[in-house]
Amino acid sequence: MFGFDKMFDFNCDGRLDIFERAAQFRFMDEMMKSGESDSFDDDDEQDIFAEAGLDYDELEFMDPEERREVLEKAGLDPDEFDF
Protein backbone atom coordinates (compact mmCIF):
# COMPACT_ATOMS: atom_id res chain seq x y z
CA MET A 1 0.00 0.00 0.00
CA PHE A 2 1.29 3.41 -0.98
CA GLY A 3 1.49 6.24 1.56
CA PHE A 4 -1.25 8.15 -0.19
CA ASP A 5 -3.52 5.07 -0.09
CA LYS A 6 -3.28 4.95 3.70
CA MET A 7 -5.14 8.24 3.84
CA PHE A 8 -8.19 6.53 2.28
CA ASP A 9 -8.00 3.21 4.14
CA PHE A 10 -10.91 4.13 6.40
CA ASN A 11 -11.31 0.69 7.98
CA CYS A 12 -7.51 0.23 8.43
CA ASP A 13 -7.44 -3.24 6.89
CA GLY A 14 -4.43 -2.49 4.69
CA ARG A 15 -6.43 -2.62 1.44
CA LEU A 16 -8.67 -0.18 -0.35
CA ASP A 17 -12.16 -1.50 -1.05
CA ILE A 18 -14.40 -0.07 -3.76
CA PHE A 19 -15.79 2.68 -1.49
CA GLU A 20 -12.31 3.76 -0.41
CA ARG A 21 -11.05 3.79 -4.01
CA ALA A 22 -14.07 5.86 -5.04
CA ALA A 23 -13.31 8.37 -2.28
CA GLN A 24 -9.67 8.50 -3.41
CA PHE A 25 -10.73 9.03 -7.04
CA ARG A 26 -13.21 11.76 -6.05
CA PHE A 27 -10.55 13.53 -4.00
CA MET A 28 -8.03 13.43 -6.86
CA ASP A 29 -10.68 14.60 -9.35
CA GLU A 30 -11.54 17.60 -7.16
CA MET A 31 -7.85 18.44 -6.71
CA MET A 32 -7.32 18.44 -10.46
CA LYS A 33 -10.37 20.65 -11.03
CA SER A 34 -9.25 23.17 -8.43
CA GLY A 35 -5.93 23.50 -10.24
CA GLU A 36 -7.74 24.45 -13.44
CA SER A 37 -9.70 27.34 -11.99
CA ASP A 38 -8.46 30.82 -12.67
CA SER A 39 -8.59 33.57 -10.08
CA PHE A 40 -10.04 35.95 -12.67
CA ASP A 41 -12.76 34.05 -14.51
CA ASP A 42 -15.51 35.03 -16.94
CA ASP A 43 -18.07 35.66 -14.19
CA ASP A 44 -15.84 38.33 -12.67
CA GLU A 45 -15.40 39.94 -16.08
CA GLN A 46 -19.15 39.92 -16.68
CA ASP A 47 -19.69 41.69 -13.35
CA ILE A 48 -17.11 44.33 -14.22
CA PHE A 49 -18.69 44.93 -17.62
CA ALA A 50 -22.21 45.06 -16.15
CA GLU A 51 -21.09 47.69 -13.64
CA ALA A 52 -19.72 49.75 -16.55
CA GLY A 53 -23.01 49.36 -18.43
CA LEU A 54 -21.56 46.99 -21.04
CA ASP A 55 -22.76 43.61 -22.29
CA TYR A 56 -20.14 40.84 -22.24
CA ASP A 57 -21.67 39.04 -25.24
CA GLU A 58 -21.72 42.17 -27.35
CA LEU A 59 -18.11 42.90 -26.50
CA GLU A 60 -17.14 39.36 -27.38
CA PHE A 61 -18.50 39.67 -30.93
CA MET A 62 -17.05 43.13 -31.67
CA ASP A 63 -13.94 43.49 -33.76
CA PRO A 64 -10.83 44.21 -31.64
CA GLU A 65 -10.54 47.92 -32.51
CA GLU A 66 -14.19 48.62 -31.78
CA ARG A 67 -14.03 46.67 -28.50
CA ARG A 68 -10.89 48.56 -27.45
CA GLU A 69 -12.59 51.88 -28.09
CA VAL A 70 -15.75 50.91 -26.16
CA LEU A 71 -13.72 49.65 -23.18
CA GLU A 72 -11.61 52.81 -23.09
CA LYS A 73 -14.72 54.99 -23.20
CA ALA A 74 -16.09 53.02 -20.25
CA GLY A 75 -12.89 53.71 -18.31
CA LEU A 76 -11.57 50.15 -18.49
CA ASP A 77 -8.13 49.01 -19.60
CA PRO A 78 -8.65 46.86 -22.74
CA ASP A 79 -5.35 45.05 -22.17
CA GLU A 80 -6.68 43.48 -18.96
CA PHE A 81 -9.28 41.37 -20.78
CA ASP A 82 -8.97 38.39 -23.13
CA PHE A 83 -11.59 37.76 -25.76
3-state SS of the chain is CCHHHHCCCCCCCCCCCHHHHHHHHHHHHHHHHHHHCCCCCHHHHHHHHHHCCCCHHHHHHCCHHHHHHHHHHCCCCHHHCCC
Give the C-alpha separation, 3 to 6, whole Å: 5
Give per-residue pLDDT as tens, 62-75. 999 999 999 999 99
Give per-residue pLDDT as tens, 21-58. 999 999 988 888 876 555 445 567 778 888 889 998 89
Instruction: Say what the pTM is.
Output: 0.48
Give the C-alpha separation, 21 to 23, whole Å: 5
